[in-house]
Structure 1
């Protein structure tokens, strides 16, 4: 004896129809992608800064309060840079950092929730380091 649940009741026949199943699948997919879009929008950090003649330490503290990112840097190097005046509204963390370090001898890396700030390597230094490394490697082989 074969029981077919789709033919017993009119509701079950409607539920088992191909068009209904396709409509349900499409609805689930649209809801899923809608949720992904909302969650991706929530992760972007927007920074607003309006600082005049402030230190980099104070600027980094302000960004930390707004974004939750921790800053890791050599305090001596940053103190040498002096003061900065900057204004920006509702920009991403990367855009804010790019604008802050524009025309300055520093670069940054974002690792997890930490911004690591370091001095840029000048091309001459980089090429001489490469030559030194190559020399040491060749010397090891002899």
Structure 2
């Protein structure tokens, strides 16, 4: 009886692990196709939202409504798209699961420190 219970428990844990891995790979494998010239940054952000489940978080003063960019991505991962989008702009980003946090570059160091401390606290538990 005890061996049967252990086998069931191991099967459940293995199945759960596989499901989580597939979910993580699906998130990482998501590709974006954006081909825009002279587009407002806010429009590009909307395009990313339409092609994915990502949510953007930022204060109004982080993104200037008049900023325009040229962006060309063909089946690119989100990190590469965002690097291209903010390459010449004073904006940094952090991706946490399906959330993208935008900050002014000079504020980014503090956010990165807070995220690092939070990660360490979670690892200690």
Give the alignment partner of residue 42 of structure 1, picking from 20, 26, 29. 26
Give unmatched runs, 5+ long, in structure 2: 1-14, 111-125
TM-score (structure 1 length as normaliser)? 0.54
Question: RCO higher in 1 or 2 (8 Å CA, sep ≥ 6)?
Answer: 2
1:81-133 CA distance string (max 9 Å, x none): 611111110000011111111132111011231101000118xxx8xxxxxxx
3-state DSSP of counterpart to 1:79? coil
Runs of 4+ in 1 over 2 A off after TM superposition: 38-43, 74-77
Which residue of the partner structure matches residue 43 of structure 2? 58
Give the alignment partner of residue 89 of structure 2, picking from 104, 107, 111. 104
TM-score (structure 2 length as normaliser)? 0.60
Alignment of 1:89 with 2:77, yes or no, is no
Give unmatched runs, 5+ long, in structure 1: 1-31, 127-142
Which has a greater percent of helix?
Answer: 1
Q: Is the 8 A contact 2:34 2:71 kept in 1?
A: yes
The alignment's C-alpha RMSD in Å is 2.8
The offset of 1:80, in angstroms, is 5.8
